[in-house]
Amino acid sequence: FGESALGFATFAWFMVASPNSIKHAYHYRQVALRLVEKVKLKQHKVHVYLAVYAGINCWMERLQSSIEPLEYAYRLGMSCGEIQYAYISALQHCVVSYQCGVKLEMVERLMKMYSGEMVECKQCLSQSILQVWHQTVLNLMGLSDDPLKLSGDAMDQEPFLNDSLECKVGSPPFVVYHNCSLLAYLFGEYELAAKMAAKGEALVSKVQSFYADGNHTFVQGLISLALGRSTDQTNFQTIAKQSIDQMEIWSEYAPSNYQHKLLLLQAEYAFVFVKSDDAAVLYDEAIDKAAENGITQDLAIAYERAGLFNFAQGNASKASQLYGQAHDVYLQWGARGKADYLRLRSPF
């Protein structure tokens, strides 16, 4: 049963890389979980839980539902000697917690604890990837000298990238470029964000399917829409439309993870390229859906972009209110660095 469960889980994980196969992958995921419950060997359960809750679940179930199973997989792996898989589970426990909008102070403590353990147990790859996410969190919290650069207490960006690219391992540099693109976007450096996103795009096919893939598409779309406001380059409209098309597919299977992202991209597209009256309605729907889905950082971004839209429309009063709400949500999340940036660069 154990090997069969792992086989079904691995097959499902590969299937979700193709959007047209997500529905079928769900069936194999269910089979894997049913089979693994009949297995006495803990090792098999660790492997299956990692595949299901780190790689498969985000394409078909609420992202928050993966947090506890990944923590359980870590503890189970440590108890049965599956150290490598235990710490990959720990890494994903941290990353998914961050992506779900868990308070950054709590996530940072978790990352620091796991990172120390990984060093002691010589889990170099997991620890190197965790460093990137950890430094991203520190930057958002305002605990770094330069919010655009992943250098500080957790890592030093340039040597890290050089070493990773030299080793030709796709995951660490992709995670760097993805997080750098997000940080540059959040801190208003859209051209740098586009440059980082393009470098991440070149590596995304070499990385196994995770929620970060979907976030990469979302952020790339947001960056293209932001640049579309200030330039007349048609390639930004093309990238934005591709991001929307992809998000439409994912939101069909996992609306709790992607519906609000789709609505925000559609709102920005209607504002920037279509000049449609639908934009105002779409921004409101994106805000409501992000709040319903509980992804704190996406809610803050939706408030912020809706504020910019209303300011451009001449509605300074509503724009100021939305900006204030964005600031408050960023603070609630623990992203003081971003909240301070928003306050200091407010157009009001």
DSSP states of 150-215 as a string? --SSS--HHHHHHHHHHHT-SHHHHHHHHHHHHHHHHTT-HHHHHHHHHHHHTTGGGS---HHHHH
* 248-262 per-position pLDDT tens digit: 999 999 999 999 999
From the number of C-beta atoms within 10 Å of its C-beta (0-12, 13-18, 19+), residue 154 rates as buried
pTM: 0.95
Q: How far is CA 200 from CA 177, 182, 255, in A?
A: 5, 11, 25
CA distance 56 to 301: 26
d(CA 283, CA 262): 11
Q: What is the pLDDT of residue 18?
A: 85
Contact 338, 297 (CB under 8 A): no
pLDDT at 209: 67
pLDDT of residue 2: 72
Enumerate residue ranges in the chain where pLDDT < 50: none
Q: Residue 277's pLDDT is what? A: 83
As to burial, measured by CB atoms within 10 angstroms (0-12 exposed, 13-18 middle, 19+ buried), residue 37 is exposed
**pLDDT given for residue 327 in this prediction:** 98
Q: Based on C-alpha coordinates, what's the Rg of the chain?
A: 20
